[in-house]
Amino acid sequence: MDFSFVKDYYMFFINGAKITILLAIFTIIFGVILGVLFALMRISRNPVLKGIAAVYIEFIRGTPIMVQLFIFYYGLSFVGITFPDISVLGSNLNDLMAGIVALSINSAAYVAEIVRAGIQAIDKGQMEAARSLGLNYTISMKTIILPQAIKNILPALGNEFIAIIKESSIVSIIGIHELMYSNSTVRGITFRPFEPLIITAMVYFAITFTLSTLVRAFERRLQTVD
């Protein structure tokens, strides 16, 4: 094995990692916001909201992420949504947005199921007690149910965040210069198919391990509060 290429091409991996992290941050933010929204729709008593959420979640979970990615890659411009033709860390903003949207929409379905399960695990007496005091549904949800549900949700949500980072490697196929794309670039330059993969895997692992450590630390902090 020969890793001598690293000293010449390490910037590819660093820039790739930057894009991967950027993708993950936006996907986590949008995925969580959308996911909580769909979870609340799914448990609501309104049959229309409930139906929309159920169809969305089933459809996203039942189709390959690669298909979803291409749907958004071609679909966004097809329906006339375009972004300024500028470059972000070497990737076209239009491609990047398609990637973020596809990953967020995908992740939201999984987050929604995690959040729904976390909320439904809370004893229904909690909601009844809050409502019996005259608090409305929204306040009861915000002050009583969600703060308790967070503890059930967080471990599963941490796993989902890690899955996002790993699955973001798929957006290399639409030309986003993230970590997996950088791997291919370095392979093309060096004609070495194997060693760059080792580096790439190590960088992915460094990112996911950091994240899982952070999530665990946060969980511990929540535990000590009660």
Partner 1 sequence: MIKVTDLHKNFGKLHVLKGIDLNIDKGEVVVIIGPSGSGKSTVLRCLNRLEEADKGQILFKDISVTDDKNDINVIRQDMGMVFQNFNLFPHMTVLENVTLAPTRLNMMKEKEAKDKGLKLLKRVGLGDKANNYPNQLSGGQKQRVAIARALAMSPDLMLFDEPTSALDPEMVGEVLEVMKQLAADGMTMVIVTHEMNFAKEVADRVLFIDDGIILEEAPPEELFNNPKNPRTKDFLRRVII
Q: Hey, which residues does 88 pair with through a beta bridge?
A: 91
Crossing angle of helices 93-120 and 6-43, rounded to 10°: 50
| Stretch of 113-121, 136-144, 176-184, 193-201 lying at the interface with partner 1 (CB under 8 A) | 136-144
Which of 100, 94, 98 shows the shortest CA–CA distance to 23?
100
**Contact criterion met (CB below 8 Å) for 13 and 199:** yes
Instruction: List the interface residues with partner 1, window 153-212 (CB under 8 A).
Output: none
Quote the least distance from Cβ 53 to partner 1, whole Å.
Answer: 23
CA–CA gap between residue 205 and residue 31 (Å, rounded)? 22
Q: CB of 159: closest distance to partner 1 in angstroms?
A: 23
The residue from 46, 61, 74, 123 that contacts partner 1 (CB under 8 A) is: 123
120 lies in the binding site for partner 1 (CB under 8 A): no
**Contact with partner 1 (CB under 8 A): which of 125, 194, 221, 223?**
125
- The conformation of residue 66, written as its DSSP 8-state character, comes to H
Strand locations in 160-211 (E): none
Rounded Cα gap, residues 63 and 174, in angstroms: 18
CB atoms within 10 A of CB 201: 12
Nearer to partner 1, 126 or 184 (CB): 126
Q: Which of 120, 126, 159, 190 binds partner 1 (CB under 8 A)?
A: 126
What distance in Å separates the CA atoms of residue 73 and residue 97, rounded to the nearest whole number? 9
Chain-centroid distance of CA 90 in Å reads 22
User: Of the candidates 143, 198, 201, 216, which one interacts with partner 1 according to CB under 8 A?
Assistant: 143
- 134 interacts with partner 1 by CB under 8 A: yes
Q: Interface with partner 1 by CB under 8 A: which range of 133-141, 159-167, 168-176, 180-188?
A: 133-141
Nearer of residues 8 and 123 to partner 1, judged by Cβ: 123
Give residues in contact with partner 1 (CB under 8 A): 123, 125-126, 128-136, 139, 143-144, 147-148, 225-226
